[in-house]
Amino acid sequence: MQKIPLTLAASGMILAQDIKNPDNPEGPPLCGKGVTLTDSLLDRLQRMGIQSIAVEGHPVNIEGEKSLEEELEILDRRFRKVTDDPLMNKLREMYRIQLINSRQ
């Protein structure tokens, strides 16, 4: 899942979270999780003042955002002092899988 500005969204992307009305966040969603974006839907969301959305995978490279490789290197650095601990290795592998899956 990636949160992106609406201006970077494109037709064919799939919503990873419901879109709520900024004026009534407790109300029903404007658009539901799993909906495939279309040009007309994107136009409508823009007119409603929606600034950002969460989409499935990691379809957009945003300047300043770390790449998957950088994230995995950081993860390995954080766990480097406990490489002999099987439980910590299991935890590191769980985080690794989560990072990789979040970018697909």
Domains of the chain, by residue range, sit at 2-55, 68-102
Residues of the chain with pLDDT under 50: none
- Whether the CA torsion 46, 49, 55, 61 is positive or negative: it is positive
Alpha carbon distances (Å) from 40 to 18, 46, 67: 17, 10, 31
Sequence-distant (≥ 6) Cβ neighbours of residue 16 within 8 angstroms: 1, 2, 33, 54, 55, 56
Per-residue pLDDT at 100:
87
- For domain 2-55, the question of CATH label 3.40.630.10 is answered with no
pTM of the predicted model, to two decimals?
Answer: 0.66
